Amino acid sequence: MKNKVKVFRAMHDLTQEQLADKLGVTRQTILAIEKGKYDPSLDLAFRIARHFTVSIEEVFLWEEPPKSP
Amino acid sequence: MRRNTFYIILGLVILFEVGVFWWAVETHNALLMQLAFLLGVVVIYLARGRVEEIIEDERTGLITQKASLRTLQVFWVVFFAVNLGVAVIGLGPPGFPRRPPQPPATDTLLPFHMLGQFAIIQLVLLGLMILLYVGFRIFYARKFGEWDSDEEQS
């Protein structure tokens, strides 16, 4: 799953630490989401989208995994 | 409470436990050691709840969950396999495997003077279980970006 958390965070002039504090998660979690190492739960994904006052589809983009031959 | 303060308390509790263990062995007081251990667990639990920084969230929860499950699976299989082999030997015909003459069997399954050794073996196994857990935790923490860094990290 791809996401634009880093873009929206930059648009709102927030550091990872500040966003993490507002969402009640660790800074490493924000970093892991931005790097695509961790897909957040639906609850956290909605909270991130709501924090940036956009829809969840604008922040997170689901991609079908490549099919194995 | 800051996170570092918690780690200092943790270190003090461990020192306290080691001291009490030594004292309990000297005075042959098992209850003292058991109570001290439970007290230490309670102190650590209470101190952890007072840490103001966010140290747990859904990602760390997932790491803990996966590491715990894998530890349980691996440990259970290995522990069962080892004990299965010992049970087969124990229940097998006398004289197999060949061993020196044994003293006559006592009424108890385990002689009382060997309880300490039995407990130490179990403590070692529990220690190995912790090592296994730490290994799995490092694996999943790395997988979920625990030690990744970026331009914001000082």
SS3 per residue for A4-23: CHHHHHHHCCCCHHHHHHHH
3-state secondary structure of A60: strand
Any domain includes B86: yes
Domain spans of chain A?
2-56
pLDDT band of residue B94 (cuts 50, 70, 90) is low
Average pLDDT over residues B2-21: 92
Average pLDDT over residues B83-89: 82
pLDDT band of residue B112 (cuts 50, 70, 90) is low
B132 and B71 in a single domain? The answer is yes
With CA atoms as reference, report the closest residue to B152 among A58, A9, A61.
A9
Fold of the CATH domain A2-56: 434 Repressor (Amino-terminal Domain) (1.10.260)
B50 and B63 in a single domain? The answer is no
Q: Is the pTM of this model over 0.90?
A: no
B46 and B17 in a single domain? The answer is yes
B145:A26 CB<8 A: no
Average pLDDT over residues B47-74: 90
Rounded to a whole number, what is the distance in Å from the CA of A48 to chain B's nearest CA?
14
Any domain includes B154: no
Mutation pick from B51, B54, B147 vs chain A, by most beta carbons of A within 10 Å, is: B54
Average pLDDT over residues B122-149: 90
User: What are the b/e assignments for B119-151, b being 16+ CB within 10 Å?
Assistant: eeeeeeeeeebeebbeebbeebbeebbbeeeee
Residues in chain A: 69
Select the residue of B55, B56, B145 nearest A37 (Cβ to Cβ).
B145
Quick one: pLDDT at residue B119? 80
- Closest residue of chain A to B55, computed from CA coordinates: A26
Share of chain A above pLDDT 70, in %: 97
A29:B57 CB<8 A: yes
Quick one: pLDDT at residue A67? 77
Quick one: pLDDT at residue B135? 95
B34 and B73 in a single domain? The answer is no
Quick one: pLDDT at residue A39? 93
Pick the range with the lowest mean pLDDT from A40-54, B1-15, B101-115.
Answer: B101-115
CA atoms of A44 and B110, how far apart (whole Å): 54
Over chain B, what is the mean pLDDT?
A: 85
A21:B54 CB<8 A: yes
Average pLDDT over residues B88-105: 67
